[in-house]
């Protein structure tokens, strides 16, 4: 356990910096909107619209997304319930949470993992949107920290998980 103490101290320091300032309510209000874009509804709508409207890549995009999420979700669930890492507000009364998370544990960030699944698949099929897709995924990750429901390492692991699962799905589908 001593090996993770420096990481935990770093995470607490970053969360303290992000959550203990006079503008934290304003930042949290903006972060709520960004975070909500990663709740999953947008992924379904985007995938279905592309499936219907893009005869070139729409079906492949949908298959890649379904496979990537079928890989990502069980891994996410096992990791979250194995690590059982408490959320930031449980570590310190000085770290506020601005939303109620959908589950108990924080590592990895599911919102971040899902956002990076989508960003990676968007980047593969629509490379001209790569910068915007990854910027959006990074903003979702940042919003989770700014809302006080995740530590920085939670979102970093979520990003790696999402990216890796999307790459795995794409390779399983033969690079489509």
- Which one of the listed residues 150, 151, 153, 164 is annotated catalytic? 150
- Which one of the listed residues 85, 87, 111, 144 is annotated catalytic? 111
What does the block give as tokens for 53? 């409207």
Dist. CA 176–CA 174, nearest whole Å: 5
- CA-to-CA separations, 59 to 5, 53, 108, 123, 154, in angstroms, rounded: 46, 10, 29, 16, 32
- CA-to-CA separations, 152 to 55, 65, 71, 98, 128, in angstroms, rounded: 39, 26, 23, 16, 28
What does the block give as tokens for 81? 């319930």
Asked about 150 being catalytic, the answer comes back as: yes
Catalytic residue list: 111, 150
């Amino acid at each position: 356990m001593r090996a993770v103490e420096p990481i935990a101290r770093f995470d607490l320091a970053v969360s303290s910096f992000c959550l203990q300032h006079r503008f934290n309510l304003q930042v949290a209000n903006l972060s709520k909107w960004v975070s909500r874009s990663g709740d999953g509804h947008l992924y379904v709508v985007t995938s279905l619209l592309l499936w219907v409207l893009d005869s070139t890549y729409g079906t492949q995009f949908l298959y890649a997304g379904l496979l990537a999420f079928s890989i990502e979700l069980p891994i996410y669930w096992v990791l979250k319930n194995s690590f059982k890492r408490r959320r930031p507000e449980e570590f310190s009364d000085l770290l506020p949470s601005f939303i109620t998370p959908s589950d108990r544990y924080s590592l990895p960030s599911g919102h971040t993992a899902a956002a990076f699944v989508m960003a990676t698949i968007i980047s593969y099929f629509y490379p001209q949107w790569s910068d915007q897709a990854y910027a959006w995924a990074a903003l979702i990750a940042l919003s989770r920290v700014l809302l006080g429901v995740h530590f920085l390492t939670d979102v970093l692991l979520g990003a790696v998980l999402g990216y890796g699962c999307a790459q795995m799905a794409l390779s399983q589908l033969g690079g489509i």
